[in-house]
Amino acid sequence: MNFEVAPLPYAKDALEPVMKQETLEFHYEKHHKGYMTRLKSLIEGKPEADKSLVELIRSSSGGVFNNAAQVYNHTFYWDGMKPSGGGAPPAGDVADLINGLGGWEKFRTDFVAAGAARFGSGYVWLVLDGGKGKILDTPNAETPLTTGQVPLLTADVWEHAYYLDHRNNRIGFLEAFCDKLVNWEFVAKNLRSAK
């Protein structure tokens, strides 16, 4: 395996004041890169080293799965945010998808509720499931890649994702994510790729 952690799609201070540079430094440099370091050590010299990240996620378990999925999930999370993002999606396929879930306000309420209800650590996702939008939450490193659903957007609800900015207010973090960070162009790209 000769892939590396992808660079962030923006500067570490680009999401301020919603997400502090300190949060990005710890989360990206320590957690995300740490998962890649552990993954490489687990598969070095083994047949798994020749697989892609997605192949590893779909075919492994235990430590290899956990670290591979965390590398994927984190990259997906970073790409799903942008400075001055969030709010209702612009007109088009993504807006149609969100309208199929009851519209922007209902989507926002349901997305925040799903993430807030996730006991412990994990992720809240917007996925394409059987051609329709669906909100779901997953524990720990789990990812929709293993269930045949197409990931469109995710928010990390592990405490290290929001604690420096929001302390123990996960709901406040998820509301800020929806209102000020979501990269709808990334969602649109994922939706186009699924068709």
For position 162, which CATH number holds?
A: 3.55.40.20
Q: What one-character DSSP code corresponds to residue 83?
A: T
- Nearest CA-CA partner of 112 in 185, 171, 60: 171
Is residue 84, in this structure, part of any structural domain at all? no
Is the pLDDT at 186 greater than 70, yes or no? Answer: yes
User: Whole-model pTM?
Assistant: 0.97
For 128-143, what is each residue's pLDDT tens digit? 999 999 999 999 999 9
Residues 97 and 75 in one domain: no
CA 5/CA 31 separation, integer angstroms: 11
Residues 76 and 161 sit within 8 Å (Cβ to Cβ): no
Residues 100 and 135 in one domain: yes
Confidence of residue 87 (pLDDT cuts 50, 70, 90): very high
Residues 162 and 104 in one domain: yes
The residue-averaged pLDDT of 66-80 equals 98
Give the mean pLDDT of the chain. 96
For residue 126, the cross-strand partners are: 135, 153
Residues 108 and 139 in one domain: yes
In the chain, how many domains are there?
2
Q: Which domain, by its residues, includes 39? A: 21-79
| Residues recorded for the chain | 195
What pLDDT sits at residue 3? 80
